[in-house]
Structure 1
Amino acid sequence: MAMHQIVNHEDWLEARKRFLAKEKEFTRLRDELSRERRELPWERIDKDYAFEGEHGTETLADLFGKHSQLIVYHFMYAPDWEIGCKSCSFWADNFNGITPHLNQRDVSMVAVSRGPLHKLQAQARKFGWTFKWVSSAGSDFNFDYGVSFPPPSAEHESAPYNYGSMMVKGPEMPGVSAFIKQGDAIFHTYSTYGRGVDMFNTAYHYLDIAPKGRDEDDLPYPMAWLKHRIAYES
């Protein structure tokens, strides 16, 4: 870690107050961005999707439960994998346990993966997760929402991701989607991918205020340090 400027308390407080003005500006801009996000147009979902859950087959409407809003975390878990993506598992560690709070604001949350249900359930037990996690195996859901991709072919070695802003070669990528149900009609209101998913990771935002930040600059890639939580040495 490079040498850092050291000052007395009065100078530290003055610098902190100057930076506070920037933080307040950012907060106001974020509030405005959130408002504009909520004002985006909706698209009606007319396609039928089937999910396998703890109590059998469920429809997209069933995933709402008794609430009118639904958040889906697109959890990377290809059918032939033996454990879910370590990055998505990192995100899951951050959202596990928040469902009761979301329910109080008329929101249900569910993770959706293409992996078979028994594999999802086994990982949930091992990690102590309690959030609802369903399998979309046999459904087009993950493909339609841009987080699963067909195997590379001679014609297409990579596939567009994040609204075509990048090309990927793997079978799975992460994302978060939002839906609303009005009567019998379901509407897709928002989806975000790539760095857009970053804002949903609480641990990263705590690291951002640590003196070294995320401390990933010298790694082969940003998340090279990451392991499944149960794989860290005690």
Structure 2
Amino acid sequence: MPTLPGPSKHQHQSPARSLRDGRVPSCARRFRLGALTLLCFSLCSLLPSHSLALSDSDELEAKAAFIYNFCKYIDWPADRFASSSSPIVITVFCHHFTYDACDAFDTIRGKSAGGRPLEVRLVKKADEIGTPHILYMCGSDRDHAGRIPESYRTQSILTVNDLDPATRCGGAIISFLSVDNKLRFQINLRAARKSGLKISSQLLKLATDVVE
């Protein structure tokens, strides 16, 4: 099956800059995220090996779309939510945020999964992480983002990172991989069980590798 081409690089002003200048961001970017989300999951489910060719500029946006969809395939313990309407909190940890990172995760704000709204937090310091439902250790900071602190591995937190192919380490439940310029992910079931999370078999089928 031919490789799907990556989305063309957007030329418009970033939402972060637009908001800072007092202008409303274009709705075209949100429409584009919807298309990218469908490519990431709906089409991937039809492929024998989950993959999607991406340009560098769209990588973070694609990962944000993936993380949004992960919410639909994860069961957290009931006591992780104060009520049936409590949000799914997604914390993105990165020492050095760029406009691209802010723009990418801004596109999933206001969305919902499993009847719960998503709450996205971007933090730069470890003591600001708290106890979210999803923790993404952004791989733009390789010295700090790759490894998941031990304290977060038993708190029913879906930990996500960018796996270093050279060391294959990190301790996350889900790790993004780049293989031949294609975005993939692997799942560590052992880490998921340790955290008390249940992962849908549908998501397991989309993973390029499942660690038992």
Q: Structures share a fold, TM > 0.5?
A: no
Q: Normalization by structure 2: what TM-score?
A: 0.29
The one of the two structures with greater contact order (alpha-carbon pairs below 8 A, sep at least 6) is 1
